[in-house]
Structure 1
Amino acid sequence: MSTPRGAGAAPLDVGGVAARVAQVHAELMRLTRKRLDEQGIALNHSQVQALKRLRANGSMSAGELARAFDYDSGGMTRLLDRLESQGLLQRQPDPGDRRSLRIQPTAAGLALGERLAAIGEAVLAQALSPLSARERQGLLDCLERMLAALRQAP
């Protein structure tokens, strides 16, 4: 147990915080899956994240995507094969490196990426709905500081 900042503060239940973070994540994933199913979108989490990343970036190398998801090359190839077979992305030679391919969303992939982003935003809005604007900002500030601390850890 550790003590949060502030004189006389009660000890922090680290296990309780970790459990609650895991529960929030699980509920976000459950509700997102439910919304995807309701809209007939039969993609797994990794496929959804890849399309959202491609929508945001436009084009990436397979290596960049693999690093973003901590996938090995075989796992990334399988993921890309599935999305390509559904007409959601295409592989094209990288003009700057003939040994590499650029992964680009197709028009259908971009359209689906828009729908996926809207679903994710709606789920998050629902999760944040009980919080005031000030509480939302406070939560974001806390999460940013936590993320910074984790990224600085050896």
Structure 2
Amino acid sequence: MADPEVVPTVTAADADAIDELRAQWHRERPDLDAAGLDAMALVGRITRANHLLGKGMKPIFAEHGLEFPEFDVLATLRRVGAPHELTAGGLLKTAMVTSGAITNRLDKLERKGLIERHQDPSDRRAIRVRLTEAGLELVDRAVVDHVANEERMLGPLSADDRRALDGALRRLLVSLGDTHLG
């Protein structure tokens, strides 16, 4: 049985939505282990932070005529270096989505003139995807605004908070098997 003294007390000014959810669980199911409720609260915070950060990124991408999945493809091609090209399969490995979703993203980006696709000369079955000059210019502008926006969203965290959170999330991701792309 969970000890009522174990439930963290947070002032109203410091409380977030997860504190309310956790208190509700504690009230309705006092038999649940406090460590389990702590885990549920932490996963809830990670999930909510992901949602709210995504919501905060949308306007920046929209200013550049993009959605996050499109930016993700352009940024992936940009960061691999010149000639800013990967196979469609290589993009699929980094995106963690279905091949149909990648095809849809590539179709949209190709219609916008931001990427071009061509057959791999060394493997006729493979399609290579490359940034166009317009795609390269757009992603280079968008990434500057994107980084500034992320910096703004993380503004309430001190440098020490950021390092601690970064290290803790890295350990979590490694423990979950997320040790490399693809």
SS at match of 2:66: coil
Deviation at 1:101, TM superposition (A): 1.8
SS at match of 2:104: helix
1:20 and 2:33 are equivalent in the alignment:
no
- The answer for the alignment partner of 2:61 in structure 1 is 36
Deviation at 1:59, TM superposition (A): 0.9
Aligned residues: 141
Task: Tell me, yes or no, if the aligned pair for 1:52 and 1:116 is still in contact at 8 Å.
Answer: no
1:139 and 2:154 are equivalent in the alignment:
no
Return closer, same or farther for 1:28/1:98 CA change in 2, 3 Å cut-off.
same
**Which amino acid counterpart does residue 53 of structure 1 have in structure 2?**
T
- The answer for the alignment partner of 1:52 in structure 2 is 75
Structure 1 unaligned segments of length 5 or more: list them. 1-9
SS at match of 1:151: coil
SS at match of 2:143: helix
- Percent identity between matched residues is 33
- The answer for the alignment partner of 2:100 in structure 1 is 74
CA–CA distance in structure 2, aligned partners of residues 98 and 82 of structure 1: 23
**Which amino acid counterpart does residue 42 of structure 1 have in structure 2?**
G
TM-score normalised by the chain length of structure 1:
0.81
In terms of mean alpha carbon deviation, does 44-53 or 72-81 score higher?
72-81
SS at match of 1:17: helix
Give CA deviations for 1:103-152 in whole Å, capped at 9, x if unaligned: 00011111111123223212221122222222221111111111111117
CA–CA distance in structure 1, aligned partners of residues 162 and 101 of structure 2: 36
- The answer for the alignment partner of 2:149 in structure 1 is 123
State the Cα RMSD in Å.
1.9
TM-score normalised by the chain length of structure 2:
0.69
CA–CA distance in structure 1, aligned partners of residues 116 and 69 of structure 2: 17
Deviation at 1:62, TM superposition (A): 0.7
CA–CA distance in structure 1, aligned partners of residues 51 and 98 of structure 2: 25
Larger Rg: 2
CA–CA distance in structure 2, aligned partners of residues 53 and 87 of structure 1: 17
